[in-house]
Structure 1
Amino acid sequence: MLGRGTRLKPKLFGPNSPVDDKTEFKVFDVCQNFEYFEMNPDGSKDSAARSLSQVIFENRLQLAENLKSDEAQGDYGAELREYLLTLLHNRVAGMNLDNFIVRPNRQVVETYQSADIWRTLDTERHGELLNTVSSLPTEAEPIDVLEQDEELALRFDQLLLTMQLALVERTGITDTQQDKLLRIAEQLQVKASVPAVGEHLEWIEYVLSANFWEGVTLEDLETTRKRLRLLLQFIKTDEEVGVVYTNFDDTATYNEGNELHHFGYSDDLKLYRKRVEAYVREHENDLTIQRIKRGQPITKLDLERLDEQLFEASGIQDMTAYQDTIHPDKPVGLFIRELVGLDRNAAKAAFSTYLDDTKFNSDQIQFVTTIIDWLTENGTMNPAQLAKAPFTDIHFEGVFGLFDQSAVMRLRDTIKEIERVAFGE
Structure 2
Amino acid sequence: MARRDCRLDFCGNVEFFNADLPERETARPQSLSERLFRHRVELLTALRDGRAGADETGGNGAPPLVTGPIDLGTAVVDGVEYRAHHLHADVTHAARSHVLGLNPQNVQVRPHRQLVEAYSQAGPWQSLSRSAAQDVVETLGRLPTTVQQDKEEAKTFDLTVVRAQLAQLTGDAGTLASQRQKIQDIAGGLLAKINVPAVKVQARLLEELVEDQWWEDATALMFEDVRRRLRDLVIYVDKRTWKPVQTTFTDEISEAREMDLARITPGTDLRRFKAKAARYLQQHLDTIALQKLRHNRQLTVQDLTALEDMLVESGTGTREDVQTAAAEAEGLGLFIRSLVGLDRAAVQESFNDFVSGSNFSADQLHFIQQVIDYLTANGAMEISALYESPLSDNGTPDTIIGDDRLDVVVDILDEIRRRAAPVPNSTPSPAASGTDGRIAT
TM-score scaled to structure 1, two decimals? 0.45
TM-score scaled to structure 2, two decimals? 0.43
Greater per-residue helix proportion? 1
If asked which structure has higher relative contact order (CA below 8 Å, sep 6+), I would say 2
